[in-house]
């Protein structure tokens, strides 16, 4: 987004007018912190959420490194068929506000672990 786009977005969302020049000044001031945040090391723990809200209205949070989460870790919370699993990788690798490195970033590669877990529960997989 350009400074002008950001200025217009703030006007539309908050009914506050700031100039593109002010947006630029603020951006320049915070960019070192944004860059440091984008390049921080991965945490050892990422939450994985399993939800079956259609039948049981229960949410189970499995805390741990998603690379280590197994089907058995999830199955202990299941009674019957799995209708859905909701989760995914941290957004920094994919976000315009983030690094935009996608799967080239270690955080973006966590997407493959989410896919691994989905495949383990796919009863139609061949």
Catalytic, out of 91, 97, 115, 118: 91
CA dihedral 36, 38, 43, 46 (to 10 degrees): 150
Separation between Cα atoms, residue 93 and residue 110, nearest integer Å: 10
Could you confirm whether 91 is annotated as catalytic? yes
Nearest to 60 by CA among 42, 82, 77, 35: 77
Q: Which residues are catalytic?
A: 91
């Amino acid at each position: 987004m350009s400074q002008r786009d950001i200025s217009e977005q703030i006007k539309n969302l908050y009914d506050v007018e700031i100039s593109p020049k002010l947006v630029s000044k603020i951006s320049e001031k915070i960019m070192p912190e944004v860059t440091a945040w984008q390049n921080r090391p991965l945490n050892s723990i990422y939450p994985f959420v399993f939800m079956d809200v259609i039948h049981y209205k229960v949410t189970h949070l499995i805390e741990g490194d998603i690379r280590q989460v197994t089907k058995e870790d999830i199955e202990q919370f299941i009674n019957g068929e799995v209708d859905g699993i909701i989760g995914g990788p941290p957004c920094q690798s994919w976000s315009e506000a983030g690094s935009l490195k996608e799967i080239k970033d270690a955080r973006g590669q966590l997407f493959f672990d989410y896919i691994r877990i989905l495949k383990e529960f796919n009863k139609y997989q061949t």
